[in-house]
């Protein structure tokens, strides 16, 4: 049983993700929270750190971080912590790839990357104001949403100071680590500072502005071997405008740094070519605001925003001169006919609402209505009254000659009994009952007829076919979007095919991968994982000895190798496949057209049947109402006779 510091009960739900340190689950008691459960029991120092972090519930921290909200304990042992769920957020590195940007942020251009960079600097500034040092900074533990808002995860690795006691950040990724920390043997008991954080911040900002390029990776101009870690140690900023003896040149097909504003360019040089007094996050916010103000929109594509200092759209230049696409839009092809007549066709087959005026069982009898009473019934009434009156008159005379009150009373009772048992009156009552039953029968027939009219037998079938037709129309209306979705899948397949071909050139044995010595590389080789492209197989296969932490390192290295990939669409192949796709969609469109026509015709047939039946019922109704009124008048006229 997992409980929090205040004895709140927590149970874990669906597994969200897992890494080298632990697993993340939904929290059943709160849909807005997640639980991180460590793979190994945290030591006393880590448990103490988590408790202290849970006590720091400050708005500025909670705004930018998935901060521990509670510590999870089981039988007195710390198991993990609870944090807020970041719905709608994705890892920051998803902004580096043009295909990822198209899938996740299809309407975002270069200005959005500048906006995110600015928000990233703001997040660093706010957390530093709370005396927090982020420490382990990389593109995988920072998330971003569609509004460009930033959120940090894995916050339990932050460096935090409680009085004079430091909870250290003892992990880090070399390609985001400043040279003064790389010079240390390890990160154990190393006090990090705002200055060390800002080096990592500068790299992330550079990657955002240069579409995933790393500032210490480029074209080697020397005879030495240069990897990113070595370049960082020796301040070999590949895009430097100050270093006239640099060993690295900017990566091929990368954005020219001179297109940025002078202030941003200078901040990059200060961050990467000196160890002290690196630009603060606040400085980055200021300069990125200026860069935002200098952005212009290309008239050819709304996604092509660029700094005015470039003079012309660099993204169009890359596309036209080198066939490279950095921003992928969703412009529909002009050579297909699947978009033109969608709404026009639909307009001719819209289902009609079945409308009819309901009938009612109420009716109105004209005032003063009556019918003549048959002569026999009038005679019956006359004889009944005459005999009663005669008996009534005789009774007093009888009492004179029989001076007995009891006999008078008995005669009075017999007189009353006679009134009710009179044969003529009984015939009248029977006739009244017959006429009343006739009235009830007519009313019942009217109710049944009204019910039949107001709830036609074919209505349910009409509604069923209407729903089928509406579903078919919705699918037909979605044909253009279906084409776009399929075209996206097609382009993504071609993109990934190019990317994997590019990654095949990076043999694992030829590169330094943190945490992977010759033994682990041999293990990968024996399982047919031999280059950066093969690493994608590890999403679906498991290799004994390669745990979650190793997997994360391999995926990070693969992403690092893909940073220099540039997408050059094969337009001939893309157009060919698009035409085949269009033909397939046209077949689906024709099938839906046929289905819609059949369903519409079926609907019209059902409607015609209902309408015909309604007219027949309405005619019967008019006749029956007349009969009901006649029976009503007949009954009430006769009722007055008795």
Query: What mean pLDDT do residues 388-398 have?
Result: 66
Q: Per-residue pLDDT for 158 more than 60?
A: yes
Q: Residue 549: which residues within 8 A CB-CB, separation 6 or more?
A: 19, 20, 21, 515
**How far from 631 is each of 14, 441, 445, CA to CA, in Å?**
72, 10, 13
pLDDT band at 334 (very low <50, low <70, confident <90, very high): very low
Q: What is the pLDDT of residues 122-153, one digit of tens each?
A: 999 999 999 999 999 988 899 999 999 999 99
Let me know whether 73 and 108 are in one domain: no
**Is the pLDDT confidence value at 399 over 60?**
no
Q: Is residue 400 part of a domain?
A: no
pLDDT confidence of 411, banded at 50, 70, 90?
low
Cα separation, 7 vs 27, in Å, equals: 15
Average pLDDT over residues 32-49: 92
556 domain-assigned: yes
51, 85, 119 — which closes off a domain?
Answer: 85
Q: How many structural domains comprise the chain?
A: 4
Q: Which of 85, 104, 127 is the last residue of a domain?
A: 85
pTM metric for this prediction: 0.73
Nearest to 447 by CA among 273, 589, 620, 563: 620
Q: How many CB atoms lie within 10 A of CB 199?
A: 21
The three-state DSSP-derived secondary structure of 540-577 is CCCCCCCCHHHHHHHHHHHHHHHHHCCCCCCHHHHHHH
What is the average pLDDT across 16-36? Answer: 90
Nearest to 323 by CA among 504, 112, 572, 582: 572
Does any domain span residue 516?
A: yes
Q: What is the pLDDT of residue 415?
A: 64
- Evaluate whether residue 417 is within a structural domain: no
286 and 307: one domain? yes
Does 198 lie in the same domain as 92? Answer: yes
Domain range enclosing 40: 1-85
Residue 530, domain CATH: 1.10.150
Asked whether 155 and 68 are in contact (CB, 8 A), the reply is yes
Q: What are residue 376's DSSP bridge partners? A: none
Whether 163 and 309 share a structural domain: yes
Of 321-330, 385-394, 417-426, the range with the highest mean pLDDT is 321-330
Same domain, 370 and 512: no
CATH for 637 = 1.10.287
Asked if residue 157 and residue 96 are part of one domain, the reply reads yes
Residue 416 belongs to a domain: no
- Considering only CA atoms, which of 446, 444, 439 is closest in space to residue 634? 439
* Residue 153 shares a structural domain with residue 24: no
- The set of residues, in sequence order, having a beta carbon less than 8 Å from that of 22 and lying 6+ positions away, is 36, 37, 38, 39, 80
Of 50, 85, 120, the residue at which a domain comes to its end is 85
pLDDT of residue 150: 95
Q: Tell me, what's the pLDDT at 621?
A: 94
Check residue 277 and give left, alpha or beta (phi > 0: left; psi -120 to 50: alpha): left
| Residue 487 near residue 102 (C-beta atoms within 8 A) | no
419 or 224: which carries more pLDDT confidence?
A: 224
Q: State pLDDT tens for residues 297-332.
A: 999 898 999 999 999 999 999 999 998 889 987 654
Answer yes or no: do 587 and 447 share one domain: yes
Where residue 11 falls (left for φ over 0; alpha for ψ -120 to 50; beta otherwise) is beta
Mean pLDDT (whole number) for 12-29: 89
* Residue 404 confidence (pLDDT): 61
CATH of residue 66: 3.30.200.20
Q: What is the mean pLDDT of residues 236-240?
A: 95
Angstrom distance (rounded) from CA 614 to CA 352:
17
């Amino acid at each position: 049983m997992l409980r929090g510091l205040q004895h709140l009960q927590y149970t874990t739900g669906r597994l969200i993700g897992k890494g080298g340190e632990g697993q993340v689950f939904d929290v059943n008691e709160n849909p807005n929270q997640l639980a991180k459960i460590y793979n190994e029991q945290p030591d006393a120092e880590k448990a103490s750190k988590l408790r202290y972090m849970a006590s720091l519930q400050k708005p500025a921290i909670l705004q930018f971080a998935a901060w521990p909200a509670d510590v999870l304990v089981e039988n007195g042992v710390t198991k993990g912590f609870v944090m807020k769920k970041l719905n709608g957020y994705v890892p920051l590195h998803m902004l580096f790839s043009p295909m990822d940007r198209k899938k996740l942020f299809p309407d975002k251009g270069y200005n959005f990357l500048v906006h995110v960079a600015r928000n990233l600097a703001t997040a660093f500034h706010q957390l530093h104001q709370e005396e927090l040092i982020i420490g382990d900074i990389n593109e995988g533990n920072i998330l971003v949403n569609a509004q460009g808002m930033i959120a940090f995860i894995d916050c339990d690795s932050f460096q935090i100071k409680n009085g004079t006691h430091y909870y250290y950040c003892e992990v880090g990724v070399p390609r985001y680590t400043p040279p003064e920390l790389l010079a240390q043997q390890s990160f154990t008991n190393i006090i990090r500072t705002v200055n060390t954080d800002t080096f990592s911040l500068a790299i992330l900002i550079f990657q955002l502005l240069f579409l995933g390029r790393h500032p210490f990776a480029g074209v080697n101009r020397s005879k030495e071997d240069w990897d990113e870690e070595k370049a960082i140690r020796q301040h070999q900023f590949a895009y430097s405008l100050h270093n006239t003896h640099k060993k690295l040149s900017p990566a091929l097909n990368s954005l020219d740094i001179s297109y940025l504003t002078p202030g941003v360019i200078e901040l990059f040089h200060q961050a990467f070519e000196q160890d002290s007094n690196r630009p603060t996050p606040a400085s980055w916010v200021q300069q990125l605001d200026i860069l935002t103000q200098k952005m212009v929109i290309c008239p050819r594509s709304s996604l092509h925003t660029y700094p005015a200092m470039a003079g012309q759209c660099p993204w169009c230049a890359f596309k036209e001169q080198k066939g490279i696409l950095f921003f992928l839009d969703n412009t529909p092809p002009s050579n297909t006919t699947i978009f033109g007549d969608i709404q026009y066709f639909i307009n001719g087959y819209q289902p009609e609402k079945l409308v009819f005026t309901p009938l009612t069982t109420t009716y109105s009898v004209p005032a003063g209505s009556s019918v003549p009473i048959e002569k026999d019934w009038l005679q019956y009434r006359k004889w009944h009254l005459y005999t009663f009156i005669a008996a009534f008159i005789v009774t007093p005379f009888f009492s004179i000659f029989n001076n007995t009150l009891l006999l008078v009373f008995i005669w009075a009772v017999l007189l009353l009994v006679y009134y009710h048992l009179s044969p003529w009156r009984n015939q009248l009552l029977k006739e009244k009952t017959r006429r009343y039953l006739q009235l009830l029968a007519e009313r019942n027939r009217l109710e049944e007829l009204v019910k039949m009219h107001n709830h036609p037998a074919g209505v349910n079938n009409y509604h069923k076919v209407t729903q089928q037709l509406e579903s078919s129309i919705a699918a037909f209306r979605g044909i253009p979007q279906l084409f776009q979705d399929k075209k996206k899948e097609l382009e993504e397949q071609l993109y990934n095919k190019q990317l994997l071909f590019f990654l095949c050139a990076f043999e694992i044995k030829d590169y330094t991968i943190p945490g992977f010595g010759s033994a682990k590389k041999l293990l990968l080789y024996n399982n047919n994982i031999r280059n950066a492209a093969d690493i994608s197989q590890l999403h679906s296969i498991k290799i004994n000895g390669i745990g979650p932490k190793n997997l994360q390192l391999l995926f990070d290295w693969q992403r690092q190798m893909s940073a220099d990939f540039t997408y050059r669409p094969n337009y001939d192949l893309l157009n060919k496949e698009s035409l085949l796709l269009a033909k397939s969609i046209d077949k689906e469109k024709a099938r839906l057209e046929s289905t819609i026509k059949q369903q519409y015709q079926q609907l019209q047939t059902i409607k015609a049947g209902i309408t015909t039946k309604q007219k027949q019922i309405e005619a019967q109704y008019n006749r029956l109402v007349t009969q009901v009124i006649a029976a009503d008048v007949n009954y009430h006229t006769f009722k007055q006779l008795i």
